[in-house]
Amino acid sequence: MNIILLGPPGAGKGTQAGRLVETRGMVQLSTGDMLRAARTSGTEMGNRVAAVMDAGQLVTDEIVIGLIEEQLDTRTGHGGFIFDGFPRTLAQADALGELLARKGQALDAVIELEVVDDVLVDRIVGRAAEAAAAGQPVRADDNAESLKVRLLEYYKKTSPLIGYYHAKGALTKVDGLGPMDAVEDEIAAVLDGVRTPARENA
């Protein structure tokens, strides 16, 4: 089973992906992690990644798709892939669909962790304050203004993807602001195919 988790910064995608890795043996494909690993791998693709990054340039969609293809070819015996941080654009969504089709695979679900922006900002800022009070490290951009900028950037880039996958009948929305266990249960219900169409469209 191959899935995409969509949602703004702080919506809990990383937490839920980690739980899917633990409970279903899935493989989380993080674009950032793949690029960092490729850069030091010494492979032909890795050398291309290193050259682009060392020149201060953006890695092309072609290179990222190449890295994903390597993972599809070499990672076997697991419960499927979670695509994390990819696709971010319609062109990338098309490229991913073509790659999966070429490999005889499919995208089984696209799950959007839906949030209310103001509630999400309050939650993250509150957690940051608690962490600071406890002497724990806090991200420099975990403040209301930075978070709103990150949210705006997310919606600008990904709102077309939400429409794209909705039109394909692949998108299911889950309440990303519920307790973590409840969100995990909702995602499990989607993956197990027990959600009714009426509930999906509610």
Which residues participate in catalysis according to the annotation?
13, 88, 127, 139, 150
Helix (H) or strand (E) run with residue 3 in it: strand 3-6
Q: Which amino acid is at 124?
A: I
Q: Which amino acid is at 34?
A: M
Helix 144-167 / helix 117-133 crossing angle, nearest 10 deg: 140
* Contact predicate 171/165, CB 8 Å: yes
d(CA 138, CA 132): 6
Within 8 A by CB and 6+ apart from 63, the residues are: 45, 48, 49, 52
